[in-house]
């Protein structure tokens, strides 16, 4: 029986040369579905019409209309339905079961391996199995996209992700870990090809989320153990880095450090003197890259513009034995009608700038958190504490003399006057907190007594993990 190939391609780009070889050099009979028949015929191939899904084929080429590109667009429903290739989906589902006999090719990156497969007399069963798995993953993704576009509801949870790589281990060395990626992830690269760990990626995620809040200014963020330990803005990137390091130089050791602008040679020299795990930035100049490579630092370049980063922060998922918890990502912003000065003493422009900066950092800090900020830099961060009062006491002690005329932010409601009394003793100038507690009136009165300005945002910022 002659060797047969079936073509069902929505996108025939890059296929013409391979199609000609299949017929001319390797003697395959070429068949095509209605979707591809005219396209294949027009590139000069002697092609026959596909007349039955029960036929036997040695190789099948199949790709689809890119539905996922239209998920966030108002695509015309008739156009969408017209481009659902039911036959193509059926072909894959049918022939993946016969992977021991049939090679199923679903993307152009696989084309280069097809000739080698043919030259080896179609004996590579591992390749057939691998491509069958990839074909089934593609079908799952397309069906999931169809559900999203037609059902348009949260009745179905579809996680279309493909294994990118195994990680060395998870949070601890006895835990296995894997990275999965999808078409909806950001674009980034590891400039010096270092392997990222599970913990690296957790810290990188938090760091990048915070620097995206300050994409249009010079910002430095330092993260360790999934918690921000310093953040600062400056007149230059070097200035912001020095201010951030001053906040907590001990915690900065073996940390992940992110920058909102291009890292240059001057900044790289300072980084080279530190022991750090990773750097993150929109770009690096060549001299900076060369210096950082000398210190074995993992150099991460974020290709997706930081101003667009929040578009990728949509949902958070936690898998538990009770089910999968899903919530919207905390993309809250300060709103004028809830951002209220509630005390007699009003904040200066500089104080408001510090308050907004502090509030943005607190959004990513572990609950209960309290942060002291002065001159657009954290001078103390307390987080992950079970008591709000303990968090306030800790951060004021950590900031010490730097708390004078500084700003205090809390992620949750200050519910007793103890926190205000502690802030007054530390000579805090202003407080920003959600408000909305039963004792708000008493708290405001106490702040007035000690001439502390206070803003209530109406927005709680809990982050429990």
Q: Is the pLDDT of residue 75 over 70?
A: no
HSE toward the beta carbon, residue 232, CA cutoff 13 A: 25
How do strand 178-181 and strand 378-382 relate by DSSP bridges? unpaired
Q: What is the pLDDT of residues 211-240, one digit of tens each?
A: 999 999 999 999 999 999 999 999 999 999
Q: Check if 4-151 and 340-456 are the same fold.
A: no
Contact present, 280 and 297 (Cβ < 8 Å): no
From 46-50, 182-186, 230-234, 245-249, the region with the lowest mean pLDDT: 182-186
Segment 153-181 shows an average pLDDT of 85
CATH superfamily of 340-456: AICAR transformylase, duplication domain (3.40.140.20)
Contact present, 222 and 256 (Cβ < 8 Å): yes
What does DSSP assign to residue 386? S
pLDDT at 76: 67
What class does CATH assign to 202-309? Answer: alpha beta
How do strand 340-341 and strand 453-456 relate by DSSP bridges? antiparallel
Q: What is the pLDDT of residues 358-385, one digit of tens each?
A: 999 999 999 999 999 999 999 999 999 9
* Nearest-angstrom CA–CA distance, 292 and 236: 19
Q: How far apart are the first and last CA of the chain?
A: 62
Q: Which pTM value belongs to this model?
A: 0.80
| Phi, psi values for residue 144, rounded to 5° | -65, -45
CA–chain centroid gap for 85, Å, is 31
How do strand 453-456 and strand 430-433 relate by DSSP bridges? parallel
For 363-427, where are the E strands, in sequence order?
Answer: 370-373, 378-382, 407-410
Q: Is the pLDDT of residue 22 over 90?
A: no
What class does CATH assign to 4-151? Answer: alpha beta
pLDDT band with cut points at 50, 70 and 90 for residue 103: very high
| Phi, psi values for residue 261, rounded to 5° | -130, 180
The domain segmentation of the chain, as residue ranges, is: 4-151, 202-309, 340-456
pLDDT at 115: 84
Burial class of residue 79, CB neighbours in 10 A (0-12, 13-18, 19+): exposed
């Amino acid at each position: 029986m002659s060797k047969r190939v079936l073509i069902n391609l929505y996108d025939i780009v890059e296929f013409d040369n391979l199609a000609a070889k299949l017929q001319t050099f390797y003697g395959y009979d070429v068949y095509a579905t209605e979707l591809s028949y005219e396209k294949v015929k027009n590139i000069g191939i002697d092609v026959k019409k596909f007349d039955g899904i029960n036929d036997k084929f040695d190789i099948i080429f199949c790709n689809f209309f890119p539905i996922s590109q239209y998920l966030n667009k108002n695509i015309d429903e008739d156009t969408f339905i017209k481009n659902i290739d039911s036959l193509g989906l059926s072909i894959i589902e049918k022939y993946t079961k016969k992977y021991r006999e049939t090679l199923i090719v679903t993307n152009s990156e696989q084309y280069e391996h097809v000739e080698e497969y043919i030259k080896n007399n179609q004996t590579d069963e591992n390749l057939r199995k691998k491509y069958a798995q990839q074909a089934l993953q593609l079908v799952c993704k397309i069906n999931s996209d169809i559900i999203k576009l037609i059902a348009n509801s949260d009745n179905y949870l579809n996680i279309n992700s493909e294994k990118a790589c195994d990680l060395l281990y998870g949070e601890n060395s006895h835990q296995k870990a894997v990275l999965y990626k999808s078409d909806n992830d950001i674009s980034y690269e590891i400039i010096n090809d270092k392997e990222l760990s599970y913990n690296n990626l957790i810290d990188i995620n938090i760091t990048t989320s915070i620097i995206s809040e300050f994409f249009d200014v010079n910002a430095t963020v330092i993260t360790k153990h999934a918690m921000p330990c310093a953040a600062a803005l400056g007149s230059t990137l070097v200035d912001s880095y020095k201010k951030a390091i001053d906040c907590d130089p001990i915690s900065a050791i073996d940390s992940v450090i992110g920058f909102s602008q291009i890292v240059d040679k001057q900044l790289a020299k300072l980084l080279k003197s530190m022991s750090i795990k990773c750097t993150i930035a929109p770009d690096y100049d060549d001299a900076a890259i060369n210096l950082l490579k000398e210190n074995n630092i993992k150099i991460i370049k974020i290709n997706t513009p930081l101003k667009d980063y929040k578009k990728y922060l949509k949902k958070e998922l936690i898998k538990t034995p009770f089910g999968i918890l899903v919530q919207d990502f905390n993309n809250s912003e300060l709103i004028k009608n809830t951002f209220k000065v509630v005390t007699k003493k009003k904040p200066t422009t500089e104080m408001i700038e510090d308050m907004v900066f502090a509030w943005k950092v607190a959004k990513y800090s572990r609950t209960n958190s309290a942060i002291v900020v002065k001159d657009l830099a954290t001078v103390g961060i307390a987080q992950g504490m079970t008591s709000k009062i303990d968090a306030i006491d800790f951060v004021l002690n950590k900031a010490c003399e730097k708390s004078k005329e500084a700003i205090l932010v809390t992620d949750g409601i200050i519910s007793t006057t103890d926190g205000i009394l502690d802030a007054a003793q530390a000579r805090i100038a202003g407080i920003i907190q959600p408000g909305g507690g039963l004792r708000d009136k008493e708290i405001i009165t106490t702040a007035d007594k000690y001439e502390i300005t206070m803003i209530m945002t109406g927005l709680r910022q809990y982050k429990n993990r």
